[in-house]
Structure 1
Amino acid sequence: MKFLMQCALLLSGILLMSTAETQAADRPNFLLMIADDMTWSDLGYEGNPDIHTPHLDALRKQSMHLTQMFTPATTCSPSRHAIYTGLFSVRSGAYPNHTRVRQGTESVFTLLKDAGYRVALQNKSHVAPPASFPYEHIKGADDLTETKQFLSRDKDQPWLLSYCSNDPHSQWSRGPKDLYDPERLSVPSYLHDNQTTRELLAAYYAEITKFDEQVGNLLELLEESGQADNTLVMFVSEQGSSFPYGGKWSVYDNGIRVSTLVRWPGHVQAGSNSDALLQYVDVVPTFLDAAGIDPTTVDVHCPDAFGNTGFDGRSFLEVLTGDQNSFRDYVFSQHTTVGINGYQEPYPMRAVRDKRYKYIRNLAPQNTYSIGGIHKGEPIESWQADAKSDPELAKRVEWLFHRPAEELYDLKNDPLEINNLAGNATLKDVQAKLSAELDAWMKQQGDEGMQTELEAVSHQSKVRQQKAKQQKGGKKKQGRKTNNK
């Protein structure tokens, strides 16, 4: 009898172990790799002939290339809050830079941790408060010692790691500069070609290669851990670079379009691509769906203007598996200047885009758009000097400081958004439809336009609030009449 009981206990233990291993195998690990201020087109696999990104190019061959992913914001902090929470920026409260979500909001770290995952973020965070983002923090981007320990801690427990480099964020001081001769670069047409631009571009490209090296080291570590086959790997380029028109701090595609790769062996076809319209807010629901959690049942404890407490995003898992070819009809974005280093006057922007057209609303066109990034220092000062003898360049420089109330672009024929078609009689219906969609989105978000812009500092840390108060320095122009339409 004792022998039979021992056998039964042994069999029970084997079954429990088998069940745990099966559950672990059914729930993938998640490796999210986020660059820092990288324009979507500045990669080898995206067609840039000058950039050396062998590891990301190899990953593209193993992945689905999502060609129409967009961030709903144009700076680091609101973009990262969106990709971690599944919520658009104004609704979550995280819409200025250096921001935080509303108290009680839950993130992918919260939700997967509650589901039995161990969760970590390596290097750059830029999200708050800690209660909403309960991750283990791994310091540094180049040293993978702690990363290796995290990946191999318990083979039966699935994990999420968000790996966040500082590259290629300016100032561009890292990476193999010998790979890039400023004189031999092909300067993108949206940038002004002069010596200053070329030298900065070479430094920026070197940091992209530095990031690519980090990706290679991380993927090699994942392979060595024996977990590559059960790990969903996603790479995103964040928002655009800090070059003028590059286009961080703008809602043009160079600012909000995101180069995205997803590798998941056995689920995602290697070398495939999809042009489905997607947003950062769709990432969390997709990760939960892949982990066997129904995202439509999740309460994120941050209601929208109508009292709904589910995600703004939804799962695009069927896009990844090839069972669905389209997803969103529209993508949205916003830009908040208040709270940015060096801002002078409020210059809020809102945008909506479908597959072909984009409509932009500048809420304070009578103000001057001026912040510490693209409007001061280099390369803009060299551009301004050159513009004194170049009328066409002078117009482009002026556009960086002053935009009309409305912009409309035909992205099929004008992908760089140069020819503003707002007010064009033949596109009257298109403009009206996109404007109505933008109105509906702002209403759902609780976005009150200029009033929301002016409240931005209250959504930053106390240190940032004090800095903004000092920076304001008695400016009185915020009370000017604004255009909320």
Structure 2
Amino acid sequence: AYDGTKSLFTHLQAAGYRTALQNKQHVGPKATFPYETISGADDLTKTEAFIRRDPAQPWFLVFASNDPHSPWTRGPKYDPAKLTVPPYLHDNAVTREMLAAHYGEISQHDQQVGALLKLLDETNQADNTLVMWVSEQGNSFPYGGKWSVYDNGIRVATAVRWPGKIKPGSTSAALMEYVDVAPTFLAAAGVDPEKIDTGCPDADGRRGFDGRSFLDVLTGKSDALREVVFSQHTTVGIIGYQQPYPMRAARDGRYKLIRNLAPDNVYSIGGIHKGQPLQSWQEDAKSDPQLAARIDWLFHRPGEELYDLQNDPYEMKNLADDPALAKVKARLNRELAAWMAQQGDRGMETETAAKSRQGNGKEGGKPAKPKRARGEKTSD
């Protein structure tokens, strides 16, 4: 974060909350994120102590699990032969083995969530606690996932529980963004997010949140929040990247436009291109021209992609050159350009400047070879 930016922790502390983050930490600078640190994810002794410390003071806890981050070594063992492989992945033995391990670690995380909910029951806090579970991103398989703006990377799972406020079993198709989470928690805490000064102005000089509270959606007072949502991905600083490959996307209820701002560059991420699944796919592609073309797409993509998510949820058929959708593409391009301008996003200039804002630690600063970890090469 930029110096002077105030985080959700800052705003909730100002509202009288004590705040903490448990386990994985991936933020900075410390002044922006003034939380207590609770180590570990499997032992909830310190978690319980934090919750019980002062019954009169409200609290906010972010439980940041490492599961199901690769390498996938925890959880129950599933039979690879019995899995259904998503159509955007090449179906072979390596894919199935890795997918089974991934699902096992998801189950391990599910046990963690269950333990946390049980702790709320045991401390008599369940009925007065808003619990929001979200997955950070998609997995680290090729095509989509955590290093993309395809839906299997950015349409993340979310579940929310708030007894007496949110109807159990209810669902919503409302379009939301991660930036909407902070104002939602503040609204739930009785703080008006519209009056918050974030400490970081946008290109228009506004110092408020980019996000909007979706509390009314959660409580059933509204069924919509946004007409269009936006996403972006930068490769600069990711372990094993070779060339800048910025992606920007605008998505409405049916269509998604993706702009690859440097289509002449080669898309390369260590966690994908040096990983076991893709290497096995490349071997299979020697006798499979259709798979070979699919793999080539992973490295080289056009400047624009357009998908009909209603008929093509896995984004397999690019419709950017379809004349029948020219107006749709133009509309989403206008929406995306306006959003980038409001964010101060200057495309390739912003992408290449990202390196100057990254340290020389384990995440950024310069291209690096991915580290091997228990059989799987990983990156954030």
What's the counterpart of residue 181 of structure 1?
Answer: 79
Secondary structure of 1:162's counterpart equals strand
Residue from 322, 339, 347 that aligns with 1:424: 322
> Unaligned stretches of 5+ in structure 2?
370-380
Residue from 105, 114, 118 that aligns with 2:5: 105
Tell me the amino acid that sits aligned with residue 167 of structure 1: D
**Are residues 1:231 and 2:154 paired?**
no
Structure with the larger RCO, 1 or 2 (CA within 8 Å, 6+ apart): 1
Alignment of 1:309-320 (within 5 A): 309-320=207-218
Residue from 17, 39, 46 that aligns with 1:146: 46
Tell me the amino acid that sits aligned with residue 139 of structure 1: S
Tell me the amino acid that sits aligned with residue 136 of structure 2: E
Alignment of 1:25-40 (within 5 A): none
Q: Using the TM superposition, give the Cα deviation of residue 187 of structure 1 relative to its aligned residue in structure 2, in angstroms.
A: 1.6
Point out the structure with max Rg over C-alpha: 1
CA distance in 1, matches of 2:143, 2:167: 34
CA-based RMSD? 1.3
What's the counterpart of residue 377 of structure 1?
Answer: 275
CA distance in 1, matches of 2:222, 2:63: 28
Tell me the amino acid that sits aligned with residue 182 of structure 2: V
What's the counterpart of residue 372 of structure 2?
Answer: none
Q: Using the TM superposition, give the Cα deviation of residue 223 of structure 1 relative to its aligned residue in structure 2, in angstroms.
A: 0.6
Secondary structure of 2:272's counterpart equals coil
> Unaligned stretches of 5+ in structure 1?
1-100, 472-485
What's the counterpart of residue 21 of structure 2?
Answer: 121
What's the counterpart of residue 277 of structure 1?
Answer: 175
Tell me the amino acid that sits aligned with residue 241 of structure 2: Y
Contact 1:458 1:465 in 2 (8 A): no
CA distance in 2, matches of 1:464, 1:451: 24
Tell me the amino acid that sits aligned with residue 71 of structure 2: Q
Q: How many residues align?
A: 369
What's the counterpart of residue 333 of structure 2?
Answer: 435
**Are residues 1:400 and 2:298 paired?**
yes
Tell me the amino acid that sits aligned with residue 461 of structure 1: G
Residue from 229, 247, 262 that aligns with 2:145: 247
Residue from 191, 194, 209 that aligns with 1:293: 191
Contact 2:250 2:256 in 1 (8 A): yes
Q: Using the TM superposition, give the Cα deviation of residue 462 of structure 1 relative to its aligned residue in structure 2, in angstroms.
A: 3.9
State the percentage of identical aligned residues.
66
CA distance in 2, matches of 1:275, 1:142: 33
Residues 401-422 of structure 1: CA deviation (Å, up to 9, x unaligned): 1110000011111111111111
CA distance in 1, matches of 2:293, 2:121: 51
1:212 to 1:470, Cα distance in 2 relative to 1, 3 A: closer
CA distance in 1, matches of 2:256, 2:367: 35
Contact 2:241 2:367 in 1 (8 A): no
Alignment of 1:45-60 (within 5 A): none
Tell me the amino acid that sits aligned with residue 34 of structure 2: P
**Are residues 1:165 and 2:78 paired?**
no
CA distance in 1, matches of 2:195, 2:338: 24
CA distance in 1, matches of 2:270, 2:363: 17
Residues 177-224 of structure 1: CA deviation (Å, up to 9, x unaligned): 2xx011222222221111111111111111111101101111101110
Tell me the amino acid that sits aligned with residue 80 of structure 2: P
**Are residues 1:134 and 2:34 paired?**
yes
What's the counterpart of residue 347 of structure 2?
Answer: 449
TM-score (norm 2): 0.95
What's the counterpart of residue 289 of structure 2?
Answer: 391
Contact 1:457 1:465 in 2 (8 A): no
